[in-house]
Chain A
Amino acid sequence: DTEVTQTPKHLVMGMTNKKSLKCEQHMGHRAMYWYKQKAKKPPELMFVYSYEKLSINESVPSRFSPECPNSSLLNLHLHALQPEDSALYLCASSLDLGLVIADTQYFGPGTRLTVL
């Protein structure tokens, strides 16, 4: 089973709202990732968690706040977003990070976010 699930599939929020995106995997992967993808563009890395600790933050604005409650779950908390933050938010996971370079990331279907 190479499934990464994400909820919700679609989200519309105002600029003053607080919402959260959720990602889950049950493959025993210890690295989890958030990417942002604009239409017709490649995914851009936002955050990397390794063994439930934040290991990479690609200079993402503080209105995006990641959280990794356990090895299977990854959340992205959203607050005071801007319309330009509208995008597809992708979660991915992989077996390991750092110890084994030969690793494959598996992507979830994404959450399509619209900020009004």
Chain B
Amino acid sequence: AQSVSQHNHHVILSEAASLELGCNYSYGGTVNLFWYVQYPGQHLQLLLKYFSGDPLVKGIKGFEAEFIKSKFSFNLRKPSVQWSDTAEYFCAVTSSNSNSGYALNFGKGTSLLVTP
């Protein structure tokens, strides 16, 4: 079945710790990959995206993600998190093989809590 899996549903880190959030997808065809963030009470914002080219993409606020095609993965990383990174993080995929056209298919999200 076509899906996007985020393995960590809840993550708690101390400030300055490193972050890695996993995302795997099972879509075939040509895929585009995204990470969106939703801060408490705010709307979805695009963190970064991968369409083609360099598999290591850099986004806003010091985030980066690596596309590994052989592993169907697009993990999000940040070397040192801050309290302000507390938010819900969603991995999303569009695929030329998706049943929903080019609409976003979201993972279930990872809730990140960064403690002072």
Contact = CB atoms under 8 A, between A and B. Distances in A.
A73 interface: no
Nearest to B104: A105
Contacts of A104: 34, 46, 49
Contacts of A94: 102
A2 to B, nearest CB: 9
B103 A33 contact: yes
Interface stretch (B12-20, B67-75, B77-85, B106-114): B106-114
B43 A109 contact: yes
Interface in B25-79: 30, 32, 34, 36, 42-46, 49, 51-52
B44 to A, nearest CB: 4
A42 B107 contact: yes
Contact of A103 (B44, B90, B102): B102
Specify which of A40, A48, A90, A92 lies most central, judged by the most chain B CB atoms within 10 Å of its CB. Answer: A40
B110 to A, nearest CB: 11
Contacts of A109: 42-43
A102 interface: yes
Contacts of A56: 100-101, 103
Given A102-B51, A105-B104, A40 B46 contact: no
Contacts of B44: 43, 90, 107
Interface residues of A, number: 26
A45 B94 CA distance: 12
A98 interface: yes
Given A42-B90, A90-B43, A104-B34, A98 B108 contact: no
Contacts of B52: 102
A105 B93 CA distance: 11
Interface of B: 30, 32, 34, 36, 42-46, 49, 51-52, 88, 90, 92, 94, 96, 100-104, 106-109, 111
